[in-house]
Amino acid sequence: MVKKYTFFLTVSGIIAALDQATKALVMQHIPQFGSLTVIPDFFSITHVYNPGGAFGFMARNDSPLRHWLFLAAALFALCMIFYFYHRTPSANPFFGLALAMIFGGAVGNLIDRMRFGEVVDFLDVYLGTFHWPTFNVADSAVTVGVGIFIYHIVTKKVPI
């Protein structure tokens, strides 16, 4: 049983640490709104802040409640993810990996919200005039984790 939680905390910790380390590098080397082209017309590292949720949800809402709403939602989500992990049999390691990825990503972005009141984003993907919302390592981990989570639920590999 201890091994199960060690795995969860290790994966979550690595993701949160990698997220915070990459954000620190971006904040240290690229001024806010500055951009470094990596692959022309496709990918840049662009230093921006997102006061909203995923894909800029509520970013233009200046209500002071927005900050507390996002903090409360993140804490609730972390509790639910840990609850699901606790109930997940050890025989489903990929489902556990998905939950650990989501948890680690949520922690990474929660740290930003607590420190800055918004989230540091920097991965900027675009093609012509199509521009994907800028994201970060935590967002990537959450997205991949949710994909694995959905796959396991749809294929009924995990009873929930």
| CA dihedral sign, ordered 88, 89, 95, 97 | positive
Q: In this structure, are residues 99 and 85 in contact, taking their beta carbons and an 8 Å threshold?
A: yes
| Catalytic-labelled residue, pool 19, 112, 124, 139 | 139
Give which of 132, 118, 130, 120 is closest to 48, Cα–Cα.
Answer: 120
Phi, psi of 35 (to 5 degrees): -145, 140
The sign of the dihedral angle between the CA atoms of 134, 135, 140, 144 is negative
Q: Is 121 a catalytic residue?
A: yes
Instruction: Look at strands 43-50 and 35-39 and give their pairing.
Output: antiparallel
Residue of 19, 112, 121, 124 marked active site: 121
| 139 in catalytic set | yes
| Catalytic sites, residue numbers | 121, 139
